Amino acid sequence: MKPLKILLLPYMAAVIVGAFLWPAPAQGFIGESSRIVFFHVPCAWTSALAFLVAAAYSVAYLARRKPVHDDIAAGAVRLGLLFAVLALVTGALFAKIMWGAYWNWDPRESSFLLLIFLYAAYLFLRAAVEDPERRARMSAAYALFAAVLMPFLFFVAPRVTSSLHPQTVINPQGKILMDGPTKAVFFGALIAFSWLFVWMLGLEARAARLSRRDRAEGSI
Amino acid sequence: MTRSGDARAFQEASPAASRLPPSGPIGRAWAICAKDAAQELRRRIAIASIFFFAATAVTLVSFGIGPFGLPAEARDRVCSALLWIILFFCAATGLPRAFVREEETGTAYALRKVAPASLTLAGKTLFNYLLFLAIAAVTVPAFSILLEWRVGSPGALAALLVLAGYGLSVVSTFLAALVARASQKNVLFVVISFPLLLPLLLSAIVATVEAAGGSMPSTPLRVIVAYDGAATCAGYLLASAAWED
C-alpha cells in the first residue's frame, strides 16, 4: 500500500496540472469548460467501477461467506457513492456553463442521480439489519440484483429519451473523438482516479478488518 | 409397491389425504400462491388497504385536476405519469406483505422447510402479480373515467400493464424477501425498490404515453420485456440468498 500511495500523489498532481495546461480547449464548448472532462468522466467511470467491484465481492461473499469480502463490497459502495456525487457535481457545473442550469433532468444526469439512490439504498439496507451475517448476505443479494438491473439504468434509459449530454467516449461510431494531448491526459486521469479508488478501498478494507477484530476481542 | 403407488392408495383411502401437497415445482409454487390468496381473502385487511389507497389517490388526483384541468397537449404525459405513480405506491403498500406476514405470524420457518427459496419466491411472485392485475383492473378504468382520459390503444395499454406488472411483481417480491427481517420495513422497502424499479417505471410511462396516443409502444415494451427477463433470472439465482435463514 505504501508504494502505491507514494507514487499516486505525484501522478495525480501531474494529471491535474496537465489537465489545465496541456491540451487546448475542445471545439464546440464554452470557454475552458471542456477541461471538466478530465475530472467528470473519471469520477463517473470510477463510480461504475466501484459498483462492479462491489458486485464481484458480493459474489465472492455468497460463494465463500468470508467477512473480508463483505467489507470490501461495502467499502466499494461507500467509495462509489463518493465518486458518483463528485461526478454529479462536476456534471452540474458543466451543465450550468453550457446550458444555463445546474439541473435539467437530462436522462444521463438523472441516471447518475439514480445510481446515487442505489448506493444510498444499499447503505440504508445495511444500517437496517443488526446481525452481521444476515446483513452481509442481504447486502450481497441486493448488490447482485441491482447489478443485473443497472444496465437498464445506464445504457437503456438515456437512449429511450433524447439527451443534451455530449456524445460519450463509448459512442455508436466506436471512435474516440479527442486529439492526442487530450486523449493522453484523459486516459491518464482515468488511471489516476482508478488508482485512487484502489488505494482508498484498501484503507476501507483495513479499517473494517481492525474494527471486526476489536469487536471480536470485546474492545468495542 | 412403488412410493407413488403407496401415495395413490393412501389418497384413495382417505379424503383428508387428497390435500397432500402437490408434487412438481409448478404445483408447489401454485400451492404457495393459493395459500397466500386464501389468507388474504380470509382477513382482507391488506387487500382492502391497497384498494382504499388506490381509491384515495385517484380521488385526490381527480379532485385536484378534474376532467378538464389539463391542456390537451399535456394530458397524455401528465396522466401517464400520475397513473404509474399511483400503481407504484399501491404496489409498495401491498406487495411487501407477502413475506412480512410470514415473519409476523411465525410461519416463515415452516415455509423455509417445506419449499426451496426459488419456489417460495415464485409462488409469492405469482400471488403479487395477480394482486397487481386486480388493482390495475380497478384503478385504470376509474382513473380514465374520472379524468376523462381516452386511451387511443387500450390493447397496447393492457399489454403494457401485463408486462410491466410482472416486472414490478418480481422485483417487489424479491425485495420483500430481503426486508422481511429488517427494521423499518415499510420505509426500507420504498427506499431500496425505487432505484431498481425506475427503469421499468420510466419505460412504462413512455409506453403509456404512446399507447394513449394510439400507437403500439414497441421500443419501451421491448425494454420492459428485457427487464422482466433479467429480473426473473436474477431473482431465481439469488432467491436462496434473499430468503435463507
| The predicted structure's pLDDT at residue B17 | 43
Task: Give B93's contacts (C-beta < 8 A, 6+ positions apart).
Answer: B49, B50, B53
Let me know if residue B14 belongs to a domain: no
What is the band of A173 on the pLDDT scale with cuts at 50, 70, 90?
A: low
**Is the pTM of the predicted complex or chain greater than 0.90?**
no
What is the band of A112 on the pLDDT scale with cuts at 50, 70, 90?
A: confident
Mean pLDDT across B30-41: 87
Helical ranges in A34-106 per DSSP H:
37-64, 67-99
Domain housing B67: 28-243
What is the band of A172 on the pLDDT scale with cuts at 50, 70, 90?
A: low
| The predicted structure's pLDDT at residue B107 | 84
Q: Is A119 helix (H, G, I), strand (E, B) or coil?
A: helix
The mean pLDDT of chain B is 85
Looking at the predicted structure, is the pLDDT value of residue B115 above 90?
Answer: no
Using alpha carbons, select from B136, B155, B140, B144 the residue that is nearest to residue B215. Answer: B155
| The predicted structure's pLDDT at residue A160 | 59
Q: Cα–Cα distances in Å, from A56 out to A68, A111, A197, B22, B234? A: 13, 22, 15, 38, 15
Number of compact structural domains in chain B:
1
| The predicted structure's pLDDT at residue B49 | 83
Flag if B223 and A134 touch (Cβ within 8 Å): no
From the number of C-beta atoms within 10 Å of its C-beta (0-12, 13-18, 19+), residue A175 rates as: exposed
Let me know if residue B197 belongs to a domain: yes
Let me know if residue B23 belongs to a domain: no
What is the band of B19 on the pLDDT scale with cuts at 50, 70, 90?
A: low
Flag if B195 and A118 touch (Cβ within 8 Å): yes
From the number of C-beta atoms within 10 Å of its C-beta (0-12, 13-18, 19+), residue B130 rates as: middle
What is the band of B173 on the pLDDT scale with cuts at 50, 70, 90?
A: very high
Flag if A141 and B203 touch (Cβ within 8 Å): no
| The predicted structure's pLDDT at residue A100 | 86
Flag if A149 and B234 touch (Cβ within 8 Å): yes
If phi > 0 it is left, if psi is from -120 to 50 it is alpha, else beta; for residue A145 that is alpha
Using alpha carbons, select from A191, A207, A174, A197 the residue that is nearest to residue A71. Answer: A207
Flag if B196 and A118 touch (Cβ within 8 Å): yes
Flag if A156 and B199 touch (Cβ within 8 Å): yes
pLDDT tens-digit map of A78-93: 999 999 999 999 999 9
Residue numbers in B near A115 (CB within 8 A): 195
Residue of A nearest to B238 (CA): A141
What is the band of A206 on the pLDDT scale with cuts at 50, 70, 90?
A: very high
Residue numbers in B near A163 (CB within 8 A): none
Contact yes or no for A35/A183 (Cβ under 8 A): no
Half-sphere exposure of A173 (CA within 13 A, CB side): 6
Mean pLDDT across A55-68: 94
* B131 sits in which H/E element: helix B117-146
Using alpha carbons, select from B174, B194, B190 the residue that is nearest to residue B234. Answer: B174
Let me know if residue B150 belongs to a domain: yes
- Where is pLDDT greater, at B7 or A192? A192
What is the band of A149 on the pLDDT scale with cuts at 50, 70, 90?
A: confident
Question: What's the CA gap between B244 and B117, in Å, rounded?
Answer: 7
What is the band of B68 on the pLDDT scale with cuts at 50, 70, 90?
A: confident
Q: Which three cell numbers stand for residue A102?
A: 445546474
Q: Cα–Cα distances in Å, from A216 out to A127, B70, B140? A: 20, 62, 55
Question: What's the CA gap between B239 and A121, in Å, rounded?
Answer: 19
What is the band of A27 on the pLDDT scale with cuts at 50, 70, 90?
A: confident
Looking at the predicted structure, is the pLDDT value of residue B74 above 90?
Answer: no
| The predicted structure's pLDDT at residue A145 | 92
- Rounded to a whole number, what is the distance in Å from the CA of B199 to chain A's nearest CA? 6
The mean pLDDT of chain A is 85
What is the band of B2 on the pLDDT scale with cuts at 50, 70, 90?
A: very low
| The predicted structure's pLDDT at residue A166 | 56
Place of cell 467491484: A53
Query: Of A39-43, A100-104, B54-58, where does mean pLDDT reach its minimum?
Result: A100-104
What is the band of A163 on the pLDDT scale with cuts at 50, 70, 90?
A: low
- Rounded to a whole number, what is the distance in Å from the CA of B157 to chain A's nearest CA? 18
Contacts with B, A 79-108, CB within 8 Å: none
Say yes or no: A62 contacts chain B, CB-CB below 8 A: yes
Let me know if residue B92 belongs to a domain: yes
| The predicted structure's pLDDT at residue B94 | 84
Looking at the predicted structure, is the pLDDT value of residue B1 above 50?
Answer: no
Task: Give B160's contacts (C-beta < 8 A, 6+ positions apart).
Answer: B204, B207, B208, B211, B217, B221, B224
Let me know if residue B236 belongs to a domain: yes
Flag if A120 and B184 touch (Cβ within 8 Å): no
Say yes or no: B241 contacts chain A, CB-CB below 8 A: yes
Let me know if residue B1 belongs to a domain: no
Place of cell 393492457: B158
Mutate to test the interface with A, among B125, B171, B191, B192 (most CBs of A within 10 A): B192
Question: What's the CA gap between A220 and B137, in Å, rounded?
Answer: 55
| The predicted structure's pLDDT at residue A175 | 60
| The predicted structure's pLDDT at residue A156 | 66
Residue numbers in A near B178 (CB within 8 A): 125, 138, 141-142
Looking at the predicted structure, is the pLDDT value of residue A168 above 70?
Answer: no
Looking at the predicted structure, is the pLDDT value of residue B15 above 50?
Answer: no
From the number of C-beta atoms within 10 Å of its C-beta (0-12, 13-18, 19+), residue A171 rates as: exposed
Say yes or no: A170 contacts chain B, CB-CB below 8 A: no
Let me know if residue B217 belongs to a domain: yes
Main-chain dihedrals φ then ψ at residue B166, nearest 5 degrees: -65, -45
How high is the ipTM of this complex?
Answer: 0.81
Residue numbers in A near B230 (CB within 8 A): 148-149, 152
| The predicted structure's pLDDT at residue A202 | 92
| The predicted structure's pLDDT at residue B11 | 47
